[in-house]
Structure 1
Amino acid sequence: MGIQYRIPFCFLSFPVLLIVFTIPSQHCSATDTLTQSQQISVGQTLISAGQVFELGFFIPSNSSKQYVGIWPKNIPINDRKVVWVANRENPLTVTATDSGPSNLTIGKDGNLRLLDGMNNRVWLTNVSVRSNNSIVMLSDKGDLTLVDSVSGLTLWESFNYPCDTYLPGMMIGMNTTAGEKRFLSSWRTEDDPSPGEYVCGFSVDTPPQAFIWNGSKPYWRSGPWDGSKFIGVEDMDSGYSSGFNLVHDDQQGSVYLTWHNYNTSEIQFMFLTPDGTLKIMVGNEQVKNPYVNWMAPRNRCDIYGVCGPFGVCNNNTSPNCECLKGFVPSSTEEWWKGNWAGGCVRKTELLCEKNTSSLASSGKAQNDGFWKLSSMKLPDHYEYLYAEDSSGCQQWCLSNCSCVAYAYVTGIHCMVWSGGLMDIQQFSLAGNDLFLRLSYSELGKDMKNKKFFISFTTISGVALLGAFMYGMHKWRANQRVKRENMRKDFKMVDSMDTSELPIIDFDKILVATDNFSTTNKLGEGGFGPVYKGRLEDGQQVAVKRLSRHSGQGVEEFKNEIVLISKLQHRNLVRLLGCCIEGEEKLLVYEYMTNKSLDTFLFDATKRVKLDWTKRFHIIQGIARGLLYLHRDSYLRVIHRDLKVSNILLDNDMNPKISDFGLARTFRVTQELANTHRVMGTFGYMSPEYAMRGLFSEKSDVYSFGVLLLEMVSGVRNTSFHYHEKYLSLLGYAWELYNEGQASDLVDEVMVGSCSLSEVMRCVRIGLLCVQDHVADRPTMSIVVLMLSNEMDLPHPKQPTFSIPSLSDADLRSQCNKICSINEASLSIIEGR
């Protein structure tokens, strides 16, 4: 029933906490708004417009104290869960001396306040900005907002002050620079909403991980975020199926988890129980009673550090704890009693810890090595290192005696550990490889057994191998010649790391594409033609074939392989393999059923299929993909050619950024780069890049702003012409925004069916992204927050739009001597 979420944040085990509370049956007329001339008293409620959530007074079972809270409306009273409590630390008590009922009202200063029966203030929103036009609204997401009805400015919202429950649309996390923390805190008991012992939030690690703390002591840990999931949660889905995304910015010191519910027919929420269990609950019209869809911790091994340092927990064995290879219990007596907290200690000292001079002189010294442990929940207290590849990670660890283990994880890359390895778990599914540092003597024992086994199997297999020797000799000779030819072809890309990228035989690609048949041709760009194909195993693929006459060449081909083979994100296209044979250079990608975004957006008949819900879904996906490239990927990549035709759509209309031939990588500390080879597409290039060759993350932000305005309007920026006054879409959008008529920009096929406020927000974000000055543009982490409707937007300044305002003829005349222009890109052919 419903979407199965498998996540890592802070959610698991024990029976679900469903609060039984008393709510008077009578209520006021079903309205979602409270004005300054109204109030809510006991027995009256606010109800969201779609009848999803309700706000009112309630009394928990076995209690006489009264609270104001929010709960799902269509769930039976006995099974309802209060998802937010206003006065959780200051309950109301009814006494005989009360002059009247308690009530919730808006004061003269514009603050929402809760008054008791003696008219004493019990709770208020405490907004410093005074407003005479404040209203309170309850949304279908369960968010209670205090809004200035004239300016539309949100003054306060309950989503910024979570209690024990996390709802889709909320952002849970922190900003260390601003001193903000939005963590979940459990109820004290099932009948007492006051803050309890357990808190769920994020650590300041890089990359971040989620924790449940019991006071200041860790109770459960999710493992680090790899760009699509928390790797320490065994059954967590990655991608859109989970609905979760982590937005973090190391420079701002911020990390926030967002949650989107794609199934609007379901009510979903997660909450932290009084006993420290994090649960995801699901309910809908068919299933009135919410059921537990996920929870953590769910078994003994999920409890933080249950086996102590260098101990590993396996829920499928008895006893659950054992020491890692090369380690023994620190106290055998306690260990066999089941007291594992003391953990394990190393049996044999590492070579680097000894005085090795005498060993070295005698020739007996043997280097330490690494033992591979598979399917592991990686330990806590890791250190992230910027490393080129797994061998560099291994060498760093081997050259530092304090390093006791390392791991190389897709999406995170190099992680190393020193000190005791804490909170390790053996998974049945998923997990990662952990390489544990051991002395040579510990590794050598296993090598002896392996050598015996290898010798035995080798001798017994000689007879069988001999029978096939002659035939295999000829076949291998042919293969060696073929590989040698391929190695020669790869000399042009000798700096590439293709160790993890399959090399696909050219003959197989010929068969897959029916000899590059025109009927299989999907399109053509600056790189060359793209063909649809089907491999031997039946998998559909898209094959990019580098054209001999392409403005792009070896550098772009190499760039695409190096980058995409190392980047993994649900909003980036996946590279399946490559082929180089003679002059043929081909890239093989996953096939995108719906091709590129421009085939829908700029087609008069197809664009009706892109309603605003789909467009906004695509916009958010592109933003998350860019955020991964800029901040979450260890490579830190600037795309440099973001445009609608480089956004591919899968069968579910999920966007995937493609074409990384022009992308450039940045060092972690690098903010700006310069090139004499300006490459990209007019109309999408930022002014500082087009005119001076300067590019940064903000160059991609500019391109994203152009794309965002194209998504809203359904009009291509590079072909826009409305009036002599407006020679670019950007100029036209600014004028409409400045005159308060931005709604005129909306694509006519969406008028009447879209969320106008959401569209107008996107127009404003688009204009902020295309500001002339780099400093005036937001980062992609801020853009993601803006799209999530989680922050107020500044007003954009009027851009000059100097480059986009040129006509195609003007562009060609200006670039006549220094550039070549094709359908996809502009290139100034100089060294970079």
Structure 2
Amino acid sequence: MVLQVKSKNILWIANRDKPLPYNGGVLAIAEDGKLKLLDENGIPYWYTEVERSSPLRRVAKLMDSGNFVLQDDQVGISLWESFKHPTDTFLAGMYMGENLSSTSWAGQDDPKPGNFTFKMDQGENQYQITKPFIWYWRSAELQDVFSPDEIIPYQILYLLSNFSQSVNPAGKKSVHNNLTVTPMDYSRMRLIMNCTGEIQCWIEDKVKGWSLIWWEPRDPCSVIHSCGTFGSCNSNYERECQFLRGFGPVSPEHWNSGDFSGSRTGKTALCGGKDMFLRLKMTKIWKTDSNLPVNNETECLKECLSSCRCQAYSYEESDNTRRDNPSDGGTCWIWTEELNDLQQGFSNGSRDLCVRVAASDLGNSLSRIWEKRWYLANLAQLNLNCKQRHNLIR
């Protein structure tokens, strides 16, 4: 049994993992008051989980919103509704909370539950796409400055919250990923968890029909761990994934074949000798493990060196520091876990990231250059200002 609109877009399927035989079946309110889908022999292929009651009191209705409901006709309340049991489609009137999710089809023509599920994780304050046992994509958390492109447009957040979330003043435009989304008729809007792993937003125009206006992941670099541990992704290159200097693939065979999911490894253990920092320009990375106020970048660098767990740091000057008031210092961001989801080549919402690398892994000639810069950058008597130090170790 399926619900669909006139343009043949299937919105909901009752028995998606248990199809009826070709000779068909019947949808009926059974003697126990449950709505059931039965084959010609009366064997149920699907039924609603509701309390038993007289079928004379119950009625099934398909609402204009697309919601299919089972009601107690005597008191006028809904006992069950398809909006609380979606398949791959989210419509206006649903609420995407902890107990609701949309699961993709197994294939373009196979409505069985597929590999991808879109859901909300209130504990993490974000929306996620998952595959069996793993994360596939996740939205940025509110005010997450490290992954600005994964912020969901406010109109879609408004739809997902069943119009209960004030995410932006009404009537304003929102621009994400070079796409402008204007205020819309939410009754002509739907979200699809696609079988290829994309959460897609479609809107219907009376003349043009359905148009795709937003989707995530936007590109291969938006997929979680797309380049593995200590791998960097840049969708502007023909080969998106590159491992950082001083790190290498665990399995070169997999790497060369285009399987970038395997982790990277440093050739030399950190904290065992002179550790250097590889500065990555214009980098996006998932949220940091911790942050603390510091006076300058040298203090941030030393904070990282003080713990063998520190994998990388990033220093951000305060607004007053940027206005030539160095006394106000800035913020030191520290990463203590292995680095994943690095993306380079961005001018907006990105920052320089200094990754800790063993000096011996940077090559002989390069190692000597970095060692010289290392000591120069850390001699206290030089008292370098931020700009000088930046140019020195860049």
TM-score (norm. length: structure 2): 0.67
Q: CA deviation at 1:390?
A: 7.6
Which of 47, 50, 69 matches 2:2?
69
Q: Which residue in the other structure is 1:502 paired with?
A: none
Which among 65, 69, 73 is matched to residue 149 of structure 1?
Answer: 73
**1:216 has 2:133 as partner:** yes
Query: In structure 1, what is the equivalent of residue 37 of structure 2?
Result: 114
Which letter maps to 1:243? Answer: Y
- Judge conservation of contact 2:283–2:344 (CA < 8 Å) in 1: yes
Tell me, yes or no, if the aligned pair for 1:159 and 1:170 is still in contact at 8 Å. yes
User: For residues 26 and 355 of structure 2, what CA distance do their matches in structure 1 show?
Assistant: 64
Q: Do residues 402 (structure 1) and 309 (structure 2) align?
A: yes
Aligned to 1:272, which of 158, 169, 193? 193
Cα distance in 1 for partners of 2:192, 2:84 equals 16
Distance change (3 Å), C-alpha of 1:374 and 1:319:
same
Which residue type is aligned with residue 266 of structure 2? R
Q: Is the 8 A contact 1:371 1:437 kept in 2?
A: yes
Which of 250, 253, 264 matches 1:344?
A: 264
Aligned equivalent of 1:445: 370
1:226 maps to a residue whose letter is L
Matched letter for residue 164 of structure 1? D
1: CA distance, partners of 2:145 / 2:41: 50
Which amino acid in 2 is paired with 1:282?
A: I
Which residue of 290, 310, 315 corresponds with 2:235?
315
Amino acid at match of 1:104: L
Query: Which deviations, in whole Å up to 9, do the C-alpha atoms of 1:30-63 show, x marking residues without a partner?
Result: xxxxxxxxxxxxxxxxxxxxxxxxxxxxxxxxxx
1:57-206 to 2 correspondences below 5 Å: 68-73=1-6, 75=7, 80-95=8-23, 102-128=25-51, 130=53, 133-174=57-98, 181-202=99-120, 206=124
Distance 1:117 1:312 in 2: 57
Query: What corresponds to 1:243 in structure 2?
Result: 158
CA contact (8 A) 2:283 2:353 kept: no
Once the two structures are superposed, the pairs formed by residues 585-600 of structure 1 within 5 Å of their partners are none
3-state DSSP class of the match of 1:319?
A: coil
CA distance, structure 1, for counterparts of residue 282 and residue 250 of structure 2: 24
Show the 5 A alignment for 1:293-308: 293-308=213-228
Rounded to whole Å, the distance in 1 between the matches of 2:126 and 2:294 is 21
Separation of aligned partners in 2, 1:134 and 1:415:
59
**Residues 311 and 323, structure 1, Cα contact 8 Å, conserved in 2:** yes
Segments of 5+ residues of structure 2 without an aligned counterpart are 171-181, 317-330, 378-383, 389-394
Query: Counterpart of 1:546?
Result: none
Is the CA contact (8 Å cut-off) linking 1:69 and 1:82 kept in structure 2?
yes
**Higher relative strand content:** 2
- CA contact under 8 A between 2:232 and 2:341: conserved in structure 1? yes
The equivalent of 2:149 in structure 1 is 234
- Structure-2 change in CA distance of 1:447 and 1:295 (3 Å): farther
The equivalent of 1:291 in structure 2 is: 211
Cα distance per residue 1:625-672 (max 9 Å; x no partner): xxxxxxxxxxxxxxxxxxxxxxxxxxxxxxxxxxxxxxxxxxxxxxxx
CA distance in 1, matches of 2:122, 2:333: 15
- 1:70 deviates by 1.5
Displacement after TM superposition at 1:421 (Å): 1.7
Change (3 A) 1:432 1:203: farther
CA distance in 2, matches of 1:143, 1:230: 38
1:146 CA displacement: 2.3
Structure 1 residues 404 and 208: alpha-carbon distance in aligned structure 2, compared to 1, 3 A threshold: farther
1:193 Cα deviation (Å)? 1.4
- Within 5 A, what are the aligned runs for 1:511-526? none
Shift in Å, 1:187:
1.6
C-alpha distance in 1, partners of 2:315/2:72? 50
| Residues 749-788 of structure 1 aligned to structure 2 (within 5 Å) | none
Q: Percent identity?
A: 25
Tell me the SS of whatever aligns to 2:36. strand
Match runs of 1:666-745 below 5 Å: none
Q: Whole-Å Cα distance in 2 between the matches of residues 147 and 397 of structure 1?
A: 61
Q: Report the residue type matching 2:308 in the other structure.
A: C
Structure showing greater radius of gyration is: 1
Task: Answer whether contact 1:143 1:157 (CA < 8 A) is retained.
Answer: yes
| Cα-to-partner distance string for 1:340-376 (whole Å, 9 max, x where unaligned) | 34443336654xx238xxxxxxxxxx78768465341
Are 1:420 and 2:338 an aligned pair? Answer: yes
Write the distance in 2 (CA, Å) between the matches of 1:368 and 1:203.
38
The alignment partner of 2:83 has SS state of: helix
| Deviations 1:781-825, CA, capped at 9 Å, x for gaps | xxxxxxxxxxxxxxxxxxxxxxxxxxxxxxxxxxxxxxxxxxxxx
Q: 1:230 to 1:120 in 2, by over 3 A?
A: farther
Give the direction of change, closer, same or farther, for the CA distance of 1:340–1:238 in structure 2 (3 Å limit).
closer
Superposition deviation, residue 225 in structure 1: 1.6
Q: Which amino acid aligns with 1:165?
A: T
Q: CA deviation at 1:89?
A: 2.0
User: Counterpart of 1:593?
Assistant: none
CA pair 333-137 structure 1, distance change in 2 beyond 3 A: closer
The aligned residue for residue 284 of structure 2 is 376
Give the match's secondary structure for 2:190. strand
Cα deviation for residue 245 of structure 1 reads 6.0
- Specify whether residues 112 and 378 from structure 1 end up closer, same or farther in structure 2 by C-alpha distance, changes over 3 A only: same
Give the number of aligned pairs. 338
Identify which range, 104-113 or 313-322, moves more after superposition: 104-113
1:316 to partner: Cα distance: 0.4
The 3 A distance-change label for structure 1 pair 287 and 446 is farther
From the superposition, tell whether residues 420 and 388 of structure 1 become closer, same or farther in structure 2 (CA, over 3 Å): closer
Distance of aligned partners of 1:199 and 1:106 in 2 relative to their CA distance in 1, 3 Å threshold:
same
Task: Specify whether residues 157 and 265 from structure 1 end up closer, same or farther in structure 2 by C-alpha distance, changes over 3 A only.
Answer: closer
**What is the match of residue 321 of structure 2?**
none
C-alpha distance in 2, partners of 1:272/1:335?
A: 29
* Mapped partners of 2:155, 2:47: distance in 1: 38
Amino acid at match of 1:284: D
1:477 maps to none
**CA separation of 1:417 and 1:72: change in aligned 2, threshold 3 A:** farther
Q: Using the alignment, how far apart are the partners of 2:111 and 2:349 within structure 1?
A: 36
Q: Counterpart of 2:327?
A: none
Cα 1:440–1:222 change in 2 (3 A) is: same
Q: Is the 8 A contact 2:90 2:191 kept in 1?
A: yes
What is the deviation of 1:94? 3.9
- Between Structure 1 and Structure 2, the one with more helix by share is 1
What is the root-mean-square deviation of aligned Cα atoms in Å? 4.5
Match of 2:326 in 1: none
| RCO higher in structure (CA 8 A, sep ≥6) | 2
- Classify 1:136/1:433 alpha carbon distance in 2 versus 1 (closer, same or farther; 3 Å): farther
Distance 1:427 1:85 in 2: 43
- Partner of 2:370: helix, strand, or coil? helix
Distance across 1 between alignment mates of 2:134 and 2:349: 24
Deviations 1:731-778 (A, max 9, x none): xxxxxxxxxxxxxxxxxxxxxxxxxxxxxxxxxxxxxxxxxxxxxxxx
Q: What's the CA shift for 1:84?
A: 0.7
Separation in structure 2 between the aligned mates of residue 265 and residue 207 of structure 1, nearest angstrom: 24
Deviation at 1:160, TM superposition (A): 1.5
Q: CA deviation at 1:276?
A: 2.8
